């Protein structure tokens, strides 16, 4: 590759992370094109974290109007009277001038039509193939299945996630993912390093206690598609399983279905009580659909899921962004395949959802 080498100013800016994940990982980050959908609190956190890390380009889709600025994403908004995607561009460019920031559709079509929800459904193979990785937030389940189906087929790395109040999750589909892990090198191998010295006899003694030499090992991991993951059978799990793994998954299902039905998240205001009742009803639906005991969903969650909560966006967004960085840089074992956070019980777990 022609301009594969980092400029001195980049080396300086990324110094503290190159010392962690190495130069090779940084070069891969620097060559990667990411598509991000949805600029709620979670999307905004992910944007911030991956732009700081130094990807090549970030394209953002979010045609909601600026007035929809809410709790978790406010730190990215500085310009007025435009869509959320366009509003964050200048701020993100300042955050890291090395990263190319785009929006889709292009900036020159200054449409005031903020109800253009078809834009996600209209995304096709040709468009997605321009990217190395897609991260979708704030979407309906249909939209997520649509996007994942394309990504799975085209082998574009896929993430989707969301937060509601104290709860949040993200799902990962990296298809067939190759990555490297770093392990301590065997001692004999380490001994051969210094050949430039003309005093070979020194080597045996002086290198025994030296800091661990490391070597990398290549690995491959396969992932389920979102469709496969959603058909995961929970009914066969023994009840003691749910004592160790809190049933955050079902709360997330309820909240996702709420959005799919209403086209929005539960909100404080005139409809608050109606929203609560609807959530209770959806609890019953999810219980039936998944064939699980009704006691598994503690209805208390209804008090903790209205609106965004900044620290929850930061926690889920931080873990998600780190997984994106891992996936792009092909470094370290990825989380296969869902991370769930429950801020009421302070749990953050990684579970494997696969077709049984």
Query: Considering only residues 332-351, where is the footprint of other proteins by CB under 8 A?
Result: 332-333, 335, 339, 341, 343, 346-351
Q: What are phi and psi of 347, to 5 degrees?
A: -115, 145
Nearest distance, CB of residue 92 and other proteins, angstroms: 10
**165 lies in the binding site for other proteins (CB under 8 A):** yes
Q: How far is the CB of 113 from other proteins (least distance, A)?
A: 27
Q: Of residues 8, 108, 113, 273, which one binds other proteins by CB under 8 A?
A: 8
Q: In this structure, are strands 133-137 and 157-164 parallel, antiparallel, or unpaired?
A: parallel
Question: In whole angstroms, what is the distance from residue 296 CA to residue 241 CA?
Answer: 11
CA-to-CA distance for 247 and 203, rounded, in angstroms?
Answer: 56
Q: Measured between alpha carbons, how far is 169 from 350 in angstroms, rounded to an integer? A: 10
Q: Within positions 240 to 279, which residues make up the interface with other proteins, using CB under 8 A?
A: 244-245, 267-268
By the rule CB under 8 A, 5 interacts with other proteins: yes
Pick out residues in 301-320 that bind other proteins (CB under 8 A): 303-315, 317-319
Determine the longest span between alpha carbons in the chain, in angstroms. Answer: 82
DSSP 3-state of 320: helix
| Choices 105-113, 123-131, 252-260, 321-329 (CB under 8 A): range interacting with other proteins | 321-329
Which two three-digit tokens encode residue 345?
């019980």
Residues 115-154 within binding reach of other proteins (CB under 8 A): none
125-128 long-range Cβ contacts below 8 angstroms, 24+ apart: 125/150, 125/153, 125/154, 128/35, 128/154, 128/156
Q: Which is nearer to other proteins, 194 or 233 (CB)?
A: 194
Cβ closer to other proteins: 122 or 193?
Answer: 193
Question: Which of residues 29, 321, 327, 328 is near other proteins by CB under 8 A?
Answer: 321
For residue 18, the surrounding DSSP H or E stretch is helix 15-30
When the beta carbons of 292 and 315 are compared against other proteins, the nearer one is 315
Q: In the chain, where does DSSP find H-type helix? A: 8-13, 15-30, 41-53, 84-95, 118-121, 125-128, 141-154, 187-191, 201-206, 226-230, 239-244, 248-262, 272-290, 310-329
DSSP state of 277: H
CA angle 184, 187, 193 (to 5 degrees): 95
For the segment 192-221, give every residue that binds other proteins (CB under 8 A): 193-199, 201-203, 205-207, 209-211
User: Shortest gap between Cβ of 339 and other proteins (angstroms)?
Assistant: 7
Q: Between 17 and 140, whose beta carbon lies closer to other proteins?
A: 17
- Rule CB under 8 A: say whether 77 interacts with other proteins: yes
Residues 47-76 that bind other proteins (CB under 8 A): 48-49, 52-54, 71-72, 74-75
Nearest approach, Cβ of residue 243 and other proteins (Å): 11
Tell me if residue 137 falls in helix, strand or coil.
strand
Site for other proteins contains 189 (CB under 8 A): no
Closer residue to other proteins in complex, CB, 153/187? 187
**Tokens standing for 246?**
């809190």
Build a one-symbol-per-residue string for 12-51: x at contacts with other proteins by CB under 8 A, - elsewhere: xxxxxxxxx--x---------------------x--xx--
According to DSSP, residue 302 is labeled G
Decide: is 173 part of the binding site for other proteins (CB under 8 A).
Answer: no
C-beta closer to other proteins: residue 197 or 291: 197
- E strands, 189-337, where? 214-222
Give me the least distance between CB of 16 and other proteins, in Å please.
5
- How distant is the alpha carbon of residue 88 from its chain centre? 19
- Distance of alpha carbon 235 from its chain centroid, rounded? 28
Q: Which is nearer to other proteins, 227 or 307 (CB)?
A: 307
Using CB under 8 A, count the residues that bind other proteins.
84
Using CB under 8 A as the binding rule, whether residue 283 contacts other proteins is answered as no
């Amino acid at each position: 590759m022609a301009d594969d080498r980092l400029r001195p100013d980049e080396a300086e800016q990324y110094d503290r992370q190159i010392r962690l994940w190495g130069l090779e990982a940084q070069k891969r980050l620097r060559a990667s094109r990411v598509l991000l959908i949805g600029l709620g609190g979670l999307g905004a956190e992910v944007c911030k974290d991956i732009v700081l890390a130094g990807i090549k380009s970030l394209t953002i889709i979010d045609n909601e109007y600026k007035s929809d600025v809410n709790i978790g994403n406010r730190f990215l908004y500085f310009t007025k009277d435009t869509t959320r995607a366009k509003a964050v561009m200048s701020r993100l460019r300042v955050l890291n001038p090395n990263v190319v920031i785009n929006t889709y559709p292009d900036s020159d079509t200054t449409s005031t039509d903020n109800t253009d929800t078809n834009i996600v459904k209209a995304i096709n193979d040709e468009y997605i193939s321009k990217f190395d990785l897609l991260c979708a937030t704030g979407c309906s389940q249909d939209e997520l299945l649509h996007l994942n189906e394309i990504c799975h087929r085209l082998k574009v790395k896929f993430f989707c996630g969301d937060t509601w109040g104290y709860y949040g999750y993200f799902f990962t589909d990296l298809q067939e993912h190759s990555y490297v892990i770093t392990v301590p090198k065997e001692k004999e191998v380490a001994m051969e390093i210094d050949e430039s010295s003309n005093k070979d006899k020194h080597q045996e003694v002086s290198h025994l206690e030296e800091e661990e030499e490391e070597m990398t090992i290549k690995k491959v991991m396969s992932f389920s598609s979102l469709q496969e993951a959603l058909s995961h059978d929970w009914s066969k799990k023994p009840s003691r399983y749910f004592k160790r793994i809190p049933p955050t998954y079902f709360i997330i299902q309820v909240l996702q279905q709420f959005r799919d039905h209403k086209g929005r998240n539960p909100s404080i205001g005139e409809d608050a009580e109606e929203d609560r009742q609807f959530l209770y009803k959806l609890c019953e639906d999810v219980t039936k659909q998944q064939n699980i005991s009704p006691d598994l969903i503690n209805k208390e969650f209804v008090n903790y899921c209205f609106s965004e909560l900044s620290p929850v966006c930061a926690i889920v967004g931080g873990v998600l962004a780190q997984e994106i960085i891992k996936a792009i840089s092909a470094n370290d074992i990825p989380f296969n395949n869902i991370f769930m956070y429950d801020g009421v019980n302070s749990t953050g777990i990684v579970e494997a959802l696969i077709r049984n």
